[in-house]
Amino acid sequence: MQIPISIVGAGPGALDLLTRRAEDLLRRADVLIWTDSLINPEITEIVPAYCEKIPTSSLTLEEILALLIEKNQEGKKVIRLHDGDPCLYGAISEQICGLLEAGIDFEIIPGVSAYQATAATLKRELTIPGVVQTIILTRASGRTGIPKKECLQSLAAHQASLCLYLSARHVEESQKILLEHYPEETPVAISYRISWPDEWLTIVPLKEMASTSREKKLIRTTLYLISPALRETQKRSKLYSPEHHHLFRPNE
Ligand SMILES: C[S@@+](CC[C@H](N)C(=O)[O-])C[C@H]1O[C@@H](n2cnc3c(N)ncnc32)[C@H](O)[C@@H]1O
């Protein structure tokens, strides 16, 4: 019987932010094919000593697919390890297509994404009743481009909690667009290598998002979280209000 390839989310960096399922799989891996440019090497240390470790930062899709297929066909347990959650900016879709074409079974194990680790480290909720109820995960239009109907102008118009991935190189342009819709004092969390030993995290007003990034020379592994939910004082929710009754706290 063919063993499925596991496409596994490594989380944002810290070893103890791996899921139990991810850790169990890594501890049984015969072959680890991992995005070395984005994953904390400490995570790759938990595989067995016999496990073959193959970094992918210098490989093409064709080379990665050939390796996945070859090692799987040798009957080995293959782990394809991606940072954060693999379904977000992981370029796994093209790998999935290749595996489907080759008739190779696979599974996907979710991981903690950078925006979740950032909100948790800040000790903040991103969906506060009466303030903001929507989270947008997006990126600046770099070399990859963005479909026109998803341009930052239109997303910013919602003034939702907006998470900008892969955008440090485009921060000036992003700030300019965001300021067309969000007040200039809107809090922005700038999160660099969150959960890594050298993590750096700060909250600045939107008008200082670009200058702070420049001062800190941020280019990679940076997430921007723009949100009215990051303001210091917030209203309380109905959920735990004594006046609010529901199935589990009926008005008796
Ligand atoms: C290729 S994308 C992958 C995103 C990943 N799949 C996730 O769910 O977090 C890489 C981008 O994710 C963000 N990122 C990933 N890990 C991060 C971390 N530890 N701290 C801050 N941002 C991070 C940055 O915006 C970075 O440019």
Q: How far apart are CA 252 and CA 246, in angstroms?
A: 11
Let me know whether 122 and 84 are in one domain: no
Cβ neighbours, 10 Å, residue 16: 7
Domain final residue pick, 109, 127, 152: 109
CB 93 within 8 A of CB 15: no
Coil, helix or strand at residue 193: coil
> How many angstroms is it from 181 CA to the middle of ligand 1?
25
The total of structural domains in the chain comes to 2
The Cα 97–Cα 226 span in angstroms is 34
* CATH code for the domain of 84: 3.40.1010.10
Ramachandran sector of residue 129 (left: φ over 0; alpha: ψ -120 to 50; beta: rest): beta
User: Is there a single domain that holds both residue 44 and residue 98?
Assistant: yes
**Does ligand 1 have an atom closer than 6 angstroms to the CB of 187?**
no
- In terms of domains, do 174 and 80 share one? no
Question: Are residue 96 and residue 121 in the same domain, yes or no?
Answer: no
83: closest CA among 163, 194, 174? 194
Ligand 1 centroid distance, CA of 97 (Å)? 23
Which tens digits make up the pLDDT trace of 39-94?
A: 999 999 999 999 999 999 999 999 999 999 999 999 999 999 999 999 999 999 99
Of 6, 55, 54, nearest in space to 28 by CA? 6
What residue numbers bound the domain in which 207 lies?
114-230
- DSSP class of residue 247 equals T
Query: 224 C-alpha to center of ligand 1: Å?
Result: 10
- Ligand 1 pocket, 201 CB below 6 A? no
Place of tokens 């093209």: 94
Let me know if residue 173 belongs to a domain: yes
pTM of the model: 0.94
Could you tell me if residue 237 is inside a domain? no
Same domain as 193, residue 160: yes
Band of the pLDDT at 235, cuts 50, 70, 90?
Answer: low
Same domain, 132 and 221: yes
Residues 79 and 169 in one domain: no
Element (H, E) at 95: helix 93-101
pLDDT tier, 142 (very low <50, low <70, confident <90, very high otherwise): confident
Residue 191 Cβ inside 6 Å of ligand 1? The answer reads yes
